[in-house]
Every structure is written in C-alpha cells, then in structure tokens.
Amino acid sequence: SALSAVAARLEATPMSVALAWLLRRSPNILLIPGTSSTAHLRENIAGAGLSLSHEDLTELDDISR
C-alpha cells in the first residue's frame, strides 16, 4: 500500500506516517491517538516529528480518494 511504501522510504512505521499525514492535512484536526504501550507512545511521538515531502503527501492523499 501507499502508506507502507512511504513508511519504508522514511524508515518509519506506517502508524507514525499516518499520524504525520493527518497532522499535515488540516490545522482543524485534533488527534487523540490511543496508547496501550510504551512502543505505541514512541510511534506517536515519532509521527509528530516526521517531515513529509509534497510527493509523500500526494501519494498518501490518493488513499482517501
């Protein structure tokens, strides 16, 4: 999938990329990711720090169409 491809390029997890993508989509989105473990918390924090290129965003936007 596109999400996995972008994650592989960025050496990140798909969940981190998904969070980064949602954060970039709109300033009106309020994300409240659940965390059931320390590993999930690390993934969430990593997503907030990911930089997505214009090409990454375009590829991910195609998922929602």
Residue ranges of domains in the chain: 2-62
Buried b (16+ CB within 10 A) or exposed e, 5-29: ebbeebebbbbbbbbbbeeeeeeee
Please report the pLDDT score of residue 56 as a whole number. Answer: 95
pLDDT in tens, 9-56: 999 999 999 999 988 887 787 777 778 899 888 988 888 889 999 999
- The encoded tokens of residue 42 equal 């690390």
